[in-house]
Structure 1
Amino acid sequence: MKTILKRPRSYQTLYLYIAKEFFLSFFVSFLFFFFIFFINQLLLLAEDILSKQVPFSYVMKLIFYSLPSIIAISFPFATLVGTLMTYGRFSSDNEILAMKCSGITYNRIFLPVLLIGILFSFLSFFVNDYLLPVGTINFTRLYREMIFRNPEVELESYSIKYFQDSIIITGQVEGKDIDNLIIIEKDKEANRRIILADEARINDSFEDAGVLSFELDRILDHKSEKRNRGEFLYSEAEGMVYNILLKDITSSIRNPGPREMSSPDVYRTIKEKEVRFNEKVNQRRMKSLALMGNLYGDWLLMNQQSNPREVMSYPVKLENTRQQYQDSLAAEVQDRSLQIWKLEFHQKFSIPFSCLPFVLLAFPLGLYTKRSGKSVGFGIGLFITILYWGMLVAGRTLGIRTFYPPALTMWLPNILIFSTGFILYLFRIKK
């Protein structure tokens, strides 16, 4: 009697077929979200800079350095829509039914996209946590260089610009000519000076020396000293030259925030802020203990008094101290800046790693689309994307206003998506 040995079944062909279909749908979805999140926003920026005669090469570099943030956010949503389109197409063409009739389980059908979703999560996190900070640094460096070469980039019509020690308010700006220029500055003693000019021109001859020079016409100079309140000094002149150091202009550019920093840098900043926050909490606690000691001391002194007149003065004093003590206990020490940094820290992980909950939800949903699988899957994906983004915005707003735990508010959308997908997946495989 011959013994027949069964060769282990190979699913390599199946996995490659599913992966190929997924990457095609993912690529189409990625291009869609790329245009939504990136092209519209960046073209507005490019148009604004090009209108000021900035070299085209600078514009292209600025756009290139802005790519990582858009790529990182596009990956999860493209993964969601790509999965829905893939399995929607399989379901509408009865390929899922053919696979099931061949003895292939749902776990095998889902496995390749699940592994790709995990891979995309780490890839999206790498782009968001490494390439985004690098792109932000290069973007800021290039923008500073661009200002040194073309300072009027920072000056727009009817705008307010904050520099190191001065504020510049402009009227109509045409090229290097400015109408109705207002300059507000403060010296080291916080004395304020306001300069109003009917017209102004930018003088390029001092740019090589690192100075942005304004030639002002028909000016009114107003000065006030902090120590002499109510006293002002006015002066008028036909012309004046006002200089601003270019390093003061570039230092006014906003430093990268938590969203543009790497997670280790954000974590270190959070720890530093927590130390300062704990110091405030301890100071408030010590103040409460001091008030409680004063309250107890006044009560003892009142009981030790024998003079009725002096005893009658203590209840009011005790009530004031008691009220201060209760107010000190009721007042919560909160740090909104620390809360925002914690929210950004958790968002750095929650958005990239949403790829896994998305594929878990998209797989069973895609199996239910029997007709027009790809188009229906694309529509469902857009709806879930809007819903997820709305939950993120709502969670962030709730976390800032109510100081809810940042981890819960930022991870709750992922938890809800994962739980819904897991339940639908269990329900599907048991049918």
Structure 2
Amino acid sequence: MARKFKGIYRYIAGEFLFSFFVAFLFFFFIFFVNQILLIAEEILSKNINLFSVLKLLFYSLPAIVSFAFPFGALVGALMAIGRLSSDNEVLAFQACGIPYSRLLLPIAVLGLVFSFGSFVINDIFLPLGQIKFSQLYREILYSNPELELSPYSIKRYQSSTIITGAINENGINDLVIIDKTPEKNRRLILADTASLNKLEEQNGVISLELDSVFIQTFDKQKKNDFNYLSSELMTYNILLRDISFAMSSPGPREMSSRDVKTEIDKKREVLNQKKDANFQKADRAGYNLNTEYIYQLSRPVQQRSLEFLSSHNKDYTAKINKTISDRSLQGYLVEYYKKFSLPFACFVFVMFAFPVGLFTKRSGRSVGFAVGLLVAVSYWGMLFAGQTFGIQNNASAGIAMWMPDIVIAVAATVAAAIRFRR
């Protein structure tokens, strides 16, 4: 009996692995072409040498594989089960007394193996690839500073922000620069057009020649005061080390799950300290409000006293209702849970594919491929929506990132209940 099941396991696993390989190559090709188009738009158009471009593509492979793996498992499982079902092989297994659980076992085991492999890629190779990609990009940037200038973009550096409009042969249109003066006053620079000034002696610097310039400086000491001036021409320099500094700090995507967890703990500690400080301020404001209220009870009612009391009340209300949050902490939490939810999707997908694939009556692989694409697009949309919602709305990052897996798992349970009830 054990030998009979071993042969069945090998047969079903082989069918699944073949379909997975085909589906994986399909998604890998889709994501790889997308990456080529992105690099072609940003880098190839700036005449960067081909070897550097190939290295950038190589460092992008872990990010591509991290998505191709779970989607390949989904479509591969649907194609394999659909083919077995449409060719009545599942029915033949049932006629031989082989239960569904025996047919599911090799697929479930491979799903767990794929989940583990996907986790290793996400937790080790993806951060390493992102770090290498950033390092090489900085090297390319030093030799080709114009790479940093792209149309309709916002670039944030160590002490400035540059917003560009359309870019054509005449230069950059509608350029906006927000930075600080040596006195740390906020400064706004507007230019109708700007062009890149390449000079050999300016290594490590992006030099911009601005035309029709308007500058407005805000005094941080006197908030209602500002200075402005206009000029026909202006030269503005950006140090490439500022760009390098902005790119050098690794984000959660460039970290392992352990490093991300450590950073989350640090950010939570800082956030709790801010909350405690705000609570103490609110407590003092409440004490001042009560003290002033008791003091005013012993005095005749005056308009000035009421205004003073109202001011204390507004101060207390503002502090007690103030929301203390850290958006960067939300970003780290989202990426942390994503490092687990996306690999685990491999197992969830194959558990979903088994009962759904059994509904297929004809053209098993074609139907499985079509259904798999539909589910993959839906999962991608839910994952993107969860990531956006988790960061922007300060919602639970865990729920936001695990919700796509939960939805697929619920759909798998419903499909299994309907199919196995027959």
TM-score, length-scaled by structure 1: 0.82
**Does the 8 Å CA contact 1:204/1:213 hold for their aligned counterparts?**
no
> Which of 8, 20, 30 is 1:36 aligned to?
30
Superposition deviation, residue 354 in structure 1:
0.9
Q: What are the Cα deviations for residues 192-220 of structure 1, in whole angstroms up to 9, with x where unaligned?
A: 5969798856445336xx43475969997
CA distance in 2, matches of 1:248, 1:409: 34
C-alpha distance 248-298 of structure 1, shift in aligned 2 (>3 A): closer
Structure 2 residue 6 is the aligned partner of structure 1 residue 15: no
Q: What are the Cα deviations for residues 390-425 of structure 1, in whole angstroms up to 9, with x where unaligned?
A: 322333344345433221222122123223323433
CA distance in 2, matches of 1:182, 1:368: 58
**Does the 8 Å CA contact 1:159/1:171 hold for their aligned counterparts?**
no
> Which of 202, 206, 210 is 2:201 aligned to?
206
> Which of 374, 377, 400 is 2:365 aligned to?
374
**Does the 8 Å CA contact 2:74/2:346 hold for their aligned counterparts?**
yes
- Residue range with higher mean Cα deviation, 265-274 or 64-73: 265-274
CA distance in 1, matches of 2:395, 2:26: 34
Q: How does 1:209-358 map to 2 (within 5 A)?
A: 210-212=203-205, 214=207, 226=219, 244-253=238-247, 255-303=249-297, 305=298, 308=300, 317-358=308-349
CA distance in 1, matches of 2:370, 2:103: 23
CA distance in 2, matches of 1:353, 1:220: 54
**Does the 8 Å CA contact 1:213/1:241 hold for their aligned counterparts?**
no
Secondary structure at 1:351's aligned position in 2?
Answer: helix
**Does the 8 Å CA contact 2:191/2:210 hold for their aligned counterparts?**
no
Superposition deviation, residue 125 in structure 1:
1.1
Gaps of 5+ in 1: 1-6
Q: How does 1:37-76 map to 2 (within 5 A)?
A: 37-76=31-70
CA distance in 2, matches of 1:156, 1:165: 19
Determine the structure 2 residue equivalent to 1:127: 121
**Does the 8 Å CA contact 2:175/2:191 hold for their aligned counterparts?**
yes
CA distance in 2, matches of 1:201, 1:408: 46
C-alpha distance 295-101 of structure 1, shift in aligned 2 (>3 A): same
Superposition deviation, residue 183 in structure 1:
8.9
C-alpha distance 17-153 of structure 1, shift in aligned 2 (>3 A): same
C-alpha distance 148-313 of structure 1, shift in aligned 2 (>3 A): closer
Superposition deviation, residue 246 in structure 1:
3.5
Superposition deviation, residue 280 in structure 1:
1.9
**What is the one-letter code of the residue matched to 1:23?**
L
Structure 2 residue 18 is the aligned partner of structure 1 residue 24: yes
Superposition deviation, residue 19 in structure 1:
1.2
Superposition deviation, residue 119 in structure 1:
0.6
CA distance in 1, matches of 2:316, 2:180: 41
**Does the 8 Å CA contact 2:216/2:226 hold for their aligned counterparts?**
no
**What is the one-letter code of the residue matched to 1:284?**
N
Secondary structure at 1:206's aligned position in 2?
Answer: coil
- Residue range with higher mean Cα deviation, 340-349 or 369-378: 340-349
Superposition deviation, residue 13 in structure 1:
1.6
Structure 2 residue 404 is the aligned partner of structure 1 residue 413: yes
Structure 2 residue 83 is the aligned partner of structure 1 residue 92: no
Superposition deviation, residue 73 in structure 1:
1.1
CA distance in 2, matches of 1:398, 1:178: 37
Superposition deviation, residue 47 in structure 1:
4.4
C-alpha distance 70-363 of structure 1, shift in aligned 2 (>3 A): same
Percentage of identical aligned residues: 42
**What is the one-letter code of the residue matched to 1:292?**
G
CA distance in 2, matches of 1:193, 1:430: 68
TM-score, length-scaled by structure 2: 0.84
Structure 2 residue 118 is the aligned partner of structure 1 residue 118: no
CA distance in 1, matches of 2:16, 2:242: 51
CA distance in 1, matches of 2:367, 2:166: 52
CA distance in 2, matches of 1:199, 1:412: 46
CA distance in 2, matches of 1:10, 1:23: 20
